[in-house]
Chain A
């Protein structure tokens, strides 16, 4: 029954083999073309001093579709709500909703002159802020943007006029849950004049970060829509009841901005859940920069490793994934793509759990541990492989580039890997067994400690391994214990760690962050740090109207925290933007607003 192999069979086999071979070849190398490679022109100049806000600039020509990647689906559309407060939601909404101050790539904030022609602090006691709304500013149904929109924003976010849902409400629909009441809870009044085009905000207590009010990634929603759907009187947000405000709050949670009037350079014309948002230029847009793109699309791709492939296949034209060596190398090989690795507002850090009786009791032990850790080694074996410019971070509240940044850590030797100095801390404090089996002055064994990281995160695993090796030199045994992907919250809130490595997101407005992370009992103070002086200094920083003084107070508090050796900042996490070179004006904005902070400027290169 044997038969000879047919020519067809042989041909099929050879063809299939060839296809796979060709595919394998095309995946690694230059991919043909040999034209503009990643990194040249465009975004490559963004890291040059003073260029962050102006790099990749160019004149645009009309037309074109630009598809940008969102890494998560948007389930809830109220960015001001604690459940809707996601990076992707912010990116999608800032295209269509207005905000007063906008964080820029260099971490400064710029006044959005399309919305307000000026925003000034006219008095420091009581602190008084005056916003002059652009006379042309209007929602795209023709309703002018007025003080009423500001009043509605304030009253839904102050935590009092629209309180959280009662305990009996398991549906979470009978109240407002703002992502933060910071600043809004200090406002005494918001009033309109000049036909509602001038907004005067009087603070009951001063608030240093006043520029984050009514914007900074959290834009305004149309109050007249909230009034309409809740049955309140139009233009009278000041007298809306809590129930009415809740109705508006819920409406903006459940409905994408395709359903209500917006006020941006684009209008969202389509939202396909878990897939994409489509934007088209809004003919009613009054702003100075008219969008030139014919269409803007935000496409949901939840697996970052697929983004370079989609970029290469021209299914998307811009990606903003968390960089890794392989991913960066893939993008480098794509022709006609420019990219930028920036240093973001997220920063990696080791935290010690002060609830651990030994770690919490001995400051000298903590100082020695932090001094023995070599951040240079950590960076060399992790992020420096694709970002050679990465540097040790020297502050708990500011990152380089922000006004107020001072390196307060390096001078102490923390993160230097200086073993001699680390050992001296221990011997001076009467520890025994230094370098072999460390014991406290009263004879108790130090460790073994666990170092915890989120499972699957290779970078953090390496960081724990290097820490393990560094602390072994002091005679401290460290075991590495990964955390399940869904268990980070449980581990942090339950203090189930001795040492943990993760990242925090700083903000262009550092006092609010400081309050959460360092003040006794703060929401992000998982390790249980408590220092009355630090609490007092941070409270003063929040309450001052002078931002220079606020920064000085935060740095004063930071010096105390550095000495306490509770959290060791490692480095700013790199961010990564890659776009096709035929488009211009996209920039790596590493703040909470992301690259879409200036979508009106995006367009095809002329």
Chain B
């Protein structure tokens, strides 16, 4: 498996280079940040300032040279200049990645646990009222636009605060700017209070699709010969379900989860915007809207690495979960 992993990592390097090069060319030609700088300020900057800005972001250099300088710079820890003054792109990238990981990790853990529980339950009680209810809510959450659901949740959060006379649920940011009584416990509950609503928003969408995967997979496994044999041999139903059926049923879910998480880590754009979490999603939006070439590339590079990494994880999980699969 080690050799397979190393081989996969090596193969991913040319994929990264090709994807970054193509996107670099697209981003460089997506707009003119120098013209934006020259026209978006009041009073308009002097010609010297515009020229200095163009030099600063290397706007006058050929695209291929810029790409080469960028990719070699990244290898040395230099992520290039941003159109935003004083912005250290590397610092910005990893700070935002941490923010997004915090949000996504909590949402995904909740979504995964709930998806397995409800998916299995739904499969075991196929065509029951509970199954129909879970199915109904699954499709409801899948169909609901995130931006609408998130705003609705915020209103529910405010209603909860008003009813309880508290400020427990936060609607903006990761934490409050200050706490009236600054203790570790208060800080902890403040952070949890700010995490609840965006986590629910993100979790419910993933939960909805993952429940369907789990249910379908579980039903398929439960109908298989080896499960019937296990039951025929006198094993208890619970043992068969947990030790034999569930393990096999989780294989497709593991793949889907790994791929979904990779995509969401690139930025839960809408959730982050609505709840004002300054993560990867906001970074992508800001970079694209200001034609910030090097910042966009930094986002892309990290997202690509995450996607490639989680694809590999998904493949490796196959081998872990399914004893029939071996990588040589």
The smallest C-beta distance from A248 to any residue of chain B, in angstroms, reads: 16
Inter-chain contact A253/B170, CB cutoff 8 Å: no
Known: A275-B173, A302-B282, A314-B167. A523 touches B43 (CB 8 A): yes
- Does B137 interact with chain A (Cβ within 8 Å)? yes
Known: A16-B137, A75-B87, A170-B55. A315 touches B41 (CB 8 A): no
Inter-chain contact B162/A306, CB cutoff 8 Å: no
- Does A420 interact with chain B (Cβ within 8 Å)? no
Give the contacts of A25-59 with B (CB-CB under 8 A): 26-27, 31-32
- Does A274 interact with chain B (Cβ within 8 Å)? yes
- Does B117 interact with chain A (Cβ within 8 Å)? no
- Does B44 interact with chain A (Cβ within 8 Å)? yes
Would you give the 0/1 interface string for B285-301, flagging 1 where the beta carbon is closer than 8 Å to chain A? 00011110000000000
Inter-chain contact B154/A170, CB cutoff 8 Å: no
Q: In the complex the two chains form, what is the Cα distance from A523 to B37 in whole Å?
A: 12
Known: A171-B56, A486-B288. A306 touches B87 (CB 8 A): no
Contact among A23, A84, A310, A492 for B156, CB-based, below 8 A: A23
Contact among B39, B56, B130, B133 for A170, CB-based, below 8 A: B56
Residue of A nearest to B167 (CB): A314
- Does B178 interact with chain A (Cβ within 8 Å)? yes
The smallest C-beta distance from B53 to any residue of chain A, in angstroms, reads: 7
- Does A337 interact with chain B (Cβ within 8 Å)? no
Residues of B within 8 A of A493 (CB): 32, 35, 38-39
Inter-chain contact A297/B178, CB cutoff 8 Å: yes
Known: A84-B85, A306-B274. A32 touches B172 (CB 8 A): no
- Does B31 interact with chain A (Cβ within 8 Å)? yes
Q: In the complex the two chains form, what is the Cα distance from A5 to B132 in whole Å?
A: 9
Residues of B within 8 A of A5 (CB): 128-130, 133
Pick from A173-181, A226-234, A398-406, A528-536 the stretch touching chain B.
Answer: A173-181
If over half of A's interface residues share one DSSP class (helix, strand or loop), that class is named, otherwise mixed; here it is loop
The smallest C-beta distance from A515 to any residue of chain B, in angstroms, reads: 9
- Does B228 interact with chain A (Cβ within 8 Å)? no
Residues of A within 8 A of B275 (CB): 306
Q: In the complex the two chains form, what is the Cα distance from A253 to B84 in whole Å?
A: 12
On chain B, the number of residues with a Cβ less than 8 Å from chain A's Cβ atoms is: 69
- Does A19 interact with chain B (Cβ within 8 Å)? yes
**Chain B interface residues toward A at CB < 8 A:** 30-46, 48-49, 51-53, 55-56, 58, 81, 84-87, 124-130, 133, 137, 151-159, 161-162, 167, 169-173, 176-178, 273-276, 278, 282, 288-291
Listed by A's residue number, 26 A-B pairs whose Cβ atoms lie within 8 Å are A2-B125, A2-B126, A4-B129, A16-B137, A23-B153, A76-B86, A164-B49, A169-B55, A170-B81, A172-B52, A172-B56, A177-B48, A177-B52, A182-B43, A275-B177, A275-B278, A312-B158, A314-B167, A489-B36, A492-B39, A494-B32, A516-B43, A523-B43, A523-B45, A524-B44, A526-B39
Q: A20-B156, A83-B53, A524-B39 are in contact. List 9 more A-B contacts (CB 8 A).
A: A1-B126, A26-B155, A76-B86, A172-B52, A172-B56, A303-B274, A313-B169, A315-B172, A315-B176
**Chain A interface residues toward B at CB < 8 A:** 1-6, 9-10, 13, 16, 19-20, 22-24, 26-27, 31-32, 65, 67, 75-76, 81-85, 159, 164-165, 167, 169-172, 175, 177, 179-182, 253-254, 272, 274-276, 278, 295, 297, 299-303, 306, 309-310, 312-316, 484-490, 492-494, 504-505, 507, 512-513, 516, 523-524, 526
8 A-B pairs with the lowest CB-CB distances in the bound complex, closest first: A5-B129, A523-B44, A489-B36, A23-B156, A164-B48, A489-B35, A76-B85, A83-B85
